[in-house]
């Protein structure tokens, strides 16, 4: 059963934790509480403010060797490394000219960056230089993407349509990209009619902006910045639960990634009066509530 849009009031303040030997600033607000997935509290993030150069951050990828994040910005053609204990001290590598880059995946020591038309750029380091290859999306016509993730069961990258001409009557199409054969293929289709009904009249389309597989639960988490939603689905796109996001925290959520133990990162582009941010949500289990 899909969760409905409800509110509750919380009265407790969130203490400051030390995670990964780094201090995150916790959000301590007295406001309405939105429902969250079972293992997270989306009302109480640890907030990392980003420098202005990353005001249009979109995709993020977790790097476990030093607990950092890699990211790309919409139109700069740069790969960024964000040190979570010193987010102002970013590193960057130029890999392309100005285009509309939307998401990033780190897999087998290579980065895969999605352009909004479905093209994928692969990046790999040779010492401190980048080796790049670009793969063109094979379909013609109107195809717009913002979401790219890796499915370890398929052993393929998956692209989710944001606005594709083939999608009608509330559907969202997915495509696969094989990182071994460098080929695209059709994948599953999401039936998003229930989502659209929940968001009317604000939206008449469901438009994913980021996606990632939760390594602990095996579920697919899909963000939608326009719809202000987090959707939890099976890997075949079958929707399990829908969560409305607090717009005061998730002003423009576009990037999502997980740590191996289920920690959740979500990135927000900057707003008119807000800096770009990364929100961290600790995974909660029976021993850690």
DSSP string, 61-107: EEETTTTEEEEEETTT-EEEEEETTSTTS-EEEE-SSS--EEEEEEE
Look up tokens 């719809």; give the residue: 227
Residue 19 lies in a domain: no
Number of domains the chain contains:
1
Residue 140 lies in a domain: yes
Residue 212 falls within a domain, yes or no? yes
Range of the domain at 243: 31-281
Q: Report yes or no on 153 lying in a domain.
A: yes
- Work out the pLDDT band at 154, boundaries 50, 70, 90: very high
In a domain, 70, yes or no: yes
> Would residue 11 count as lying in a domain?
no
Q: What is the mean pLDDT of residues 240-259?
A: 96
Between residues 76 and 249, the one the model is more confident about:
249
Q: Assess whether pLDDT exceeds 50 at residue 225.
A: yes
Q: Residue 217: enclosing H or E segment and its boundaries?
A: none
Evaluate whether 58 touches 101 at the Cβ level (below 8 Å): yes
In a domain? residue 26: no
CATH number of the domain encompassing residue 45: 2.120.10.30
In a domain, 12, yes or no: no
- The region that residue 116 occupies, defined by phi over 0 for left and psi between -120 and 50 for alpha, beta otherwise, is alpha
**Over residues 36-62, mean pLDDT:** 95
DSSP 289: -
Q: pTM for this structure? A: 0.88
Confidence (pLDDT) at 288:
56
What pLDDT does residue 9 have? Answer: 26
Mean per-residue pLDDT, 186-202: 85
């Amino acid at each position: 059963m899909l969760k409905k849009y409800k509110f509750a009031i919380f009265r407790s303040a969130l203490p400051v934790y030390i995670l990964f030997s780094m201090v995150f600033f916790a959000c301590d607000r007295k406001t309405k509480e939105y429902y969250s997935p079972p293992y997270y509290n989306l009302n109480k993030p640890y907030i990392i403010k980003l420098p202005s150069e990353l005001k249009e951050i979109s995709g993020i990828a977790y790097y476990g060797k030093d607990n950092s994040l890699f990211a790309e910005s919409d139109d700069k053609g740069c790969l960024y490394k964000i040190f979570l204990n010193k987010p102002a001290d970013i590193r960057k590598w130029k890999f392309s000219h100005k285009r509309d880059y939307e998401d990033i995946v780190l897999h087998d020591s290579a980065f895969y960056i999605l352009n909004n038309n479905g093209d994928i750029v692969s990046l790999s380091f040779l010492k401190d230089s980048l080796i790049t290859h670009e793969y063109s999306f094979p379909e013609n016509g109107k195809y717009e993407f913002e979401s790219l993730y890796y499915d370890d069961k398929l052993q393929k990258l998956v692209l989710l349509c944001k606005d594709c001409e083939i999608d009608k009557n509330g559907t969202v199409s997915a495509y696969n990209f094989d990182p071994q054969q460098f080929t695209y293929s059709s994948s599953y289709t999401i039936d998003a009619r229930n989502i659209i009904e929940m968001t009317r009249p604000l939206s008449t389309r469901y438009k994913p902006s980021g996606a990632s597989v939760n390594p602990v639960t095996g579920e697919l988490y899909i963000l939608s910045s326009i719809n202000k939603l987090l959707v939890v689905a099976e890997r075949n796109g079958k929707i399990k639960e829908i969560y409305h996001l607090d717009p005061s925290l998730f002003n423009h959520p576009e990037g999502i990634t997980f740590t191996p133990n289920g920690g959740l990162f979500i990135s927000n582009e900057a707003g008119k009066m807000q800096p770009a941010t990364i929100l961290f949500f600790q995974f909660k289990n029976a021993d850690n509530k």
